[in-house]
């Protein structure tokens, strides 16, 4: 009499939690709402918006230096970057709003025909991301950064610090548009809207794109003008309605 193989208990125990995690997802993907026999499904896409004046500006500021010696390039960069960070703090930017994003040291090569490239020096760069919570000071901060040695600046980009209320307005706007379209289709086909079957959402927060700027050695007498404008916060909805008589 042949014996039956014993199950691999250890493998089964490892697989059990995964099955428990996947089961709700699989159910959500396969479950469909129960509909009356005379129901007609209508899917409507709608966009909603709200508008806010931004209250946060983000910039990146960096120092790029070149030297024939790698160690000297890094030391010079560190000294100049230290002055940049100190200037940010003096301008009232909190430490939590200053974050190093990249530090690089790259050799610079000279290429000659039919000759292997030779290293002529080194380029060191250090970049920080800066969050400014007083937008009115953005232009002044940019000018200070250049005066203190920053020679690479990107931005600014503007955003809304607490967008929840504005996003809720956009959602209401989107659902109102969706309902209008559903009512229109229902009336055009001699039906009525019975209920919403499902809603799915995707959101966006549009702002003017940042423009890269290479800082000049000397700044003009006039301060750098910065206009924050207005941000549009939007929501796209896909709404499925049940129509019937």
Cβ(245)–Cβ(191) below 8 Å: yes
Cβ neighbours of residue 87 closer than 8 Å, sequence gap 6 or more: 144, 145, 147, 148
Per-residue model confidence as pLDDT tens digits over 77-90: 999 999 999 999 99
21 or 74, greater pLDDT:
74
pTM: 0.69
DSSP state letters, 177-238: HHHHHHHHHHHHTT-EEEEEEEEEEEEEEE-PPP-EEPPPSS--SSPPP-----EEEEEEEE
Closest alpha carbon to 50 in 208, 174, 135, 133: 174
In the structure, what pLDDT confidence band is assigned to residue 224 with cuts at 50, 70 and 90? confident
Q: Are strands 56-67 and 152-159 parallel, antiparallel or unpaired?
A: antiparallel
Per-residue model confidence as pLDDT tens digits over 40-79: 999 999 999 999 999 999 999 999 999 999 999 999 999 9
The two three-digit tokens of residue 30, written as one number:
């396969």
What are the two backbone dihedrals, phi and then psi, of residue 155, each rounded to the nearest 5 degrees? Answer: 120, -165
Q: How far is the CA of 215 from the CAs of 96, 140, 150, 154, 202, in angstroms? A: 25, 14, 7, 10, 38
Domains, the chain, with CATH or none: 36-54+161-217+228-245 (3.30.110.170), 56-159 (3.30.70.2970)
């Amino acid at each position: 009499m042949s014996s039956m193989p014993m199950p691999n208990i250890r493998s089964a125990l490892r697989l059990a939690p995964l099955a428990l995690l996947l089961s709700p997802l699989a159910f959500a993907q396969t479950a469909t709402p129960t509909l009356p026999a005379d129901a007609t499904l209508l899917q409507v896409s709608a966009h909603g918006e709200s508008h806010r004046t931004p209250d946060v500006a983000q910039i990146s500021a960096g120092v790029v230096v070149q030297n024939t010696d790698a160690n000297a390039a890094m030391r010079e960069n560190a000294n100049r970057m230290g002055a940049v960070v100190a200037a940010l703090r003096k301008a009232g930017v909190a430490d939590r709003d200053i974050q190093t994003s990249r530090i690089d040291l790259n050799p610079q090569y000279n290429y000659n025909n039919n000759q292997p490239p030779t290293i002529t020096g080194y380029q060191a760069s250090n970049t920080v991301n800066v969050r400014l919570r007083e937008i009115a000071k953005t232009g002044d901060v940019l000018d200070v950064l250049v005066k203190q040695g920053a020679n690479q600046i990107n931005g600014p980009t503007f955003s809304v610090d607490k967008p929840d209320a504005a996003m809720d307005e956009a959602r209401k706007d989107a659902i109102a548009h969706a309902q209008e379209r559903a009512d229109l289709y229902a009336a055009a086909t001699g039906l009525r809207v019975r209920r919403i079957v499902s809603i799915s959402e995707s959101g966006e927060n549009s702002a003017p794109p940042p423009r890269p700027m290479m800082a000049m050695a000397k700044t003009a007498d006039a301060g750098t003008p910065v206009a924050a404008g207005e941000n549009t916060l939007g929501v796209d909805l896909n709404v499925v309605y049940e129509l019937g008589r």
